[in-house]
Amino acid sequence: MKSLIISDCHDKTDQIQRIMHSEPADEVILHSDFFDEWKKTEITAVKTARKVQEWLRDPRIKCVLGNHDLSYGWGHREGGRQHICSSGWTKEKAIAIHSILEPADWLRFQLHHWIEGWERPFLVTHAGLHLEYVQRSVFKTYEQGLARIEALCQDAWESLNSHEVGAGHKILGCGPERTSSNSIATQSVGGLLWCDFTVLKPIPGINQIVGHTFGQKIREIRSKTSYNVCIDTALRHYAVVQDGSLHIREVKA
């Protein structure tokens, strides 16, 4: 089994397509954030939305929801204003995107994805799941930890798609580390769409592959029982998990 993981898109759909073509895989996991490259307009948003729709409808491709996708997909709904990311969002782009992506397309996003690893699986989310959101539950076994994460994500997804969007579910909220791009900091640390890698505290026993936090280089956080890596380098790198082993690869010019 070979999994290809590609970080934040930000309207660079052609570049992501080239990576997919150059690195054939059994499944592709995208860290999404498909929209809002700097100063791009609704014309670009329409082009991006068409490609995103194609990816969302491809069963081989898993689109892990990002904060910019959350902003356009749910920000306009009742109770969803708290999810609008002010960095790049415009009403004109929102209208353009919704002219392409249908309600059923948004429901094809997912909050997390698991990839089988050699010793334990990798948790793939957009920004990373901070220890704060699982430490209150005491689990004695690794399996209980996985079940706790599954339950959190399921509860958040149901909450997001309820009548009152998000209903304040903490793992969807923005923390103070991102107040410059979102006017509402609702909690002490960002959830799995918002957490900066610089403040991420690893969960014992859980390996994570994340995007969201741009850097020139790949960044790592190692603990005694987990390995955490951020691959958001503006598509200069991508990750491959093959036969349980993680490999970071540089995009060829």
The pLDDT tens digits along the chain (253 residues) read 999 999 999 999 999 999 999 999 999 999 999 999 888 888 999 999 999 999 999 999 999 999 999 999 997 776 666 777 777 888 899 999 999 999 999 999 999 999 998 788 999 999 999 998 987 666 677 788 888 899 999 999 998 888 666 556 889 888 887 764 554 566 889 999 999 999 999 998 899 999 999 999 999 999 888 999 999 999 999 999 999 999 999 998 7
Give the span between the Cα atoms of 40 and 51, in whole angstroms. Answer: 16
| Helix/strand/coil for 43 | helix
Encoded amino acid at 215, one letter: G
Using the 8-state DSSP alphabet, how is residue 67 labeled? H
Q: In this predicted structure, what is the pLDDT of residue 165?
A: 60
pTM comes to 0.93
Report how far apart, in Å, the C-alpha atoms of 198 and of each of 108, 215, 219 are: 29, 11, 9
Please tell me the predicted confidence (pLDDT) of residue 137. Answer: 64
Structure tokens at 30: 């995208």
What pLDDT does 83 receive? 74
